[in-house]
Amino acid sequence: MSARFLSTSSMCKTKKNTGVVESKSPRNSIVSPSSEQFDSSSSRRTGFVPYRQTSGDRFNSTSTTASSSYNHKDTRSSISSRTSLSSLRDSLPENARVYDFSEIRQATNNFSAKPFSNSSSSTSWRCLIGGKDVIVFQRKLRQPITKAEELSDRLSLICKSSHASLIKLHGASLSGNYIYLVYDYIHGGNLTDCLRNPRNPNFTVLSNWMSRMQIAADLAHGFDYLHNSTGLSNGFVHNHIKTSSIIINEPGLNAKICHFGTAELCGEVDREDEGEEESGKIGRLKRYGSGMMKFGGARGYMSPEYLTTGIPTQKSDIFAFGVVVLEIVSGKEPLKYVVSDGEGYMRVSLIDTAREAVADGGGGVRGWADSRLRDSYPVEVAEKMVRVGLNCIEDDPNDRPGMGMIANWISKLYLESEVWVKNMGFPTDFTVSLTGR
C-alpha cells in the first residue's frame, strides 16, 4: 500500500541501532525489531529473546597476552570479540545527562527559533545538541528542583531505560521554574493526524487493518514495559497518554511513545519510599502540592477517579490507553459536540458509542468502526479490540486489567488478524510517504 500523511507533528529521526544481536523479524511482527536492550521481563514480547552474555562473550585480556603464538584464525577471533564488546557498549543506554542551560539557549538560538510545537502545557523546539537531532520540550515544574544532583537522580533510571516503543530521553536542564527535556527527534506524524487528517478527513494513512493492529501492539508492549519492567524498579506512570502524544514513524508505521518520564521529572507524581506495597510493584503516588488541583491529563482521556482526586496512577494510564484503543478502531475523537435539532449542541462520547456498538452481541461494530477501512478487516477481531478498550475504561479502577494482560490480549488479536489476512490473500507489506496530501 502506498500512502502519505502529514508530518507536522513529527518527532525525531531514529538512530541506527548497533546492538550485538540483530533481529530479522518480518515488517509486520508484533514487536519492532529496532531495540536490543531489554530486561528479562521483555521476553514476554513475541519475537524477542533478551540478550544474555555467556562466558564465550567475555573478552579476557590476560588470555590474549599469555601466548605470543597466535594463528590467523585466533587473531580474527580476538578481534571479533573486541568488536562485539565495542558494539555492545555502543548499544547500551547513555547515562543521565544534566545539560548546562547555556547549551539549551544556544541550540534554540536563545529561544528565538521557531517553535516546533506549542500548547498550553509545553513549548518545543527542534534543534541540534552535541550533533544529535533532538526535540527540546519546555515544561513548568509542579515541584521545584533545587539541586542538579536531585535532577540527576531522577534522570538516572529514565535515561537508562530502553524499549522499541519509547522515544529516548537524553537528559534535561533547569532554569527557574522550568525544566527542559531533550528527546530524540522521530520523523513521522502523531496518531491524531494519522487517524483524523486535518487537510482531508476522508483520507487516512492507516487504511490497512494490520497497520492499526501493529500500532496497538507497539503501544501495549511499550506501556507494559513502563508499568511492569523490573528494570524500571517500581514502574512509571505516564500521565500523558493520548493520540497526540504518540508518533507514527516511517516507513513501517510503528508507534513511538512520547513524553516518557515527563510526569516524574516535572513533579506531577511523587513516590513515597514506604517499602514495597502488597502488589510488589508500585509505590504509593500522591499529587504534589496542597493548593489548587492541576491536571496533567487531556479532555476525554481522564478516568473518573483522576477527575475526582487529581492523582495520576497506572490505572488512570490504563483508562487513557483504553480510549486510544477505541480511537484506533473507530478513527473518531474521544469527545465532540454536534448540533442537535432544536437542542443546541449535544455531547457525543466515544466510550458511550462503543458500548452501544457491542451491545446485543456486538452486531453494531461494523457500522461503528472506521469506514475508511472499507470493511477490509476481521469483524470478530475488531469487536474483541473494542471490548479490550472497554475493559480498560471501567469506572472502578480495580476492575481494569493490568498492562501485562492487555499486551497479551492484543498480541493474540494481532496474530488472529495475520491469519485472517493470509486467508483473504491481502498484501501485508506497505510503505508510506510522509509528504502532505
Q: What is the pLDDT along the chain (437 residues), one digit of tens a residue?
A: 444 444 434 444 444 333 333 333 333 333 333 333 333 333 333 333 333 333 333 333 333 333 334 344 444 444 444 444 444 344 444 566 889 999 999 999 999 999 998 776 789 999 999 899 999 999 998 877 766 677 787 788 788 788 999 999 999 998 888 999 999 999 999 999 999 988 888 899 999 999 999 999 999 999 999 999 866 666 789 999 999 999 999 878 999 999 988 888 888 876 543 333 333 333 334 443 433 344 455 788 999 999 998 889 999 999 999 999 999 999 999 998 877 776 777 888 999 999 999 997 778 999 999 999 999 999 999 999 999 999 999 999 999 999 999 999 999 999 999 999 999 886 555 544 444 43
All CATH 1.10.510.10 domain ranges of the chain, comma separated, are 188-425
Fold of 188-425: Transferase(Phosphotransferase); domain 1 (1.10.510)
C-alpha cell at 183: 528527546
Which three-class secondary structure state does DSSP give residue 124? strand
Close Cβ partners of 49 (under 8 Å, ≥ 6 residues apart): 43
In eight-state DSSP terms, residue 131 is T
C-alpha cell at 328: 484506533
CATH class, range 100-184: alpha beta
| Counts of helices then strands in the chain (DSSP H, E) | 13, 15
> Are the beta carbons of 209 and 370 closer than 8 angstroms?
no
In eight-state DSSP terms, residue 402 is P
d(C-alpha 11, C-alpha 169), whole Å: 12
All CATH 3.30.200.20 domain ranges of the chain, comma separated, are 100-184
d(C-alpha 180, C-alpha 139), whole Å: 6
Determine the angle formed by the axes of helices 314-330 and 209-228, rounding to 10 degrees. 180
Which three-class secondary structure state does DSSP give residue 90? helix
My answer on whether omega of the bond before 144 falls inside 30° of 0, hence cis, is: no
Which three-class secondary structure state does DSSP give residue 2? strand
Q: What is the pTM of this model?
A: 0.72
Strand partners, 64: none
Strand partners, 129: 132
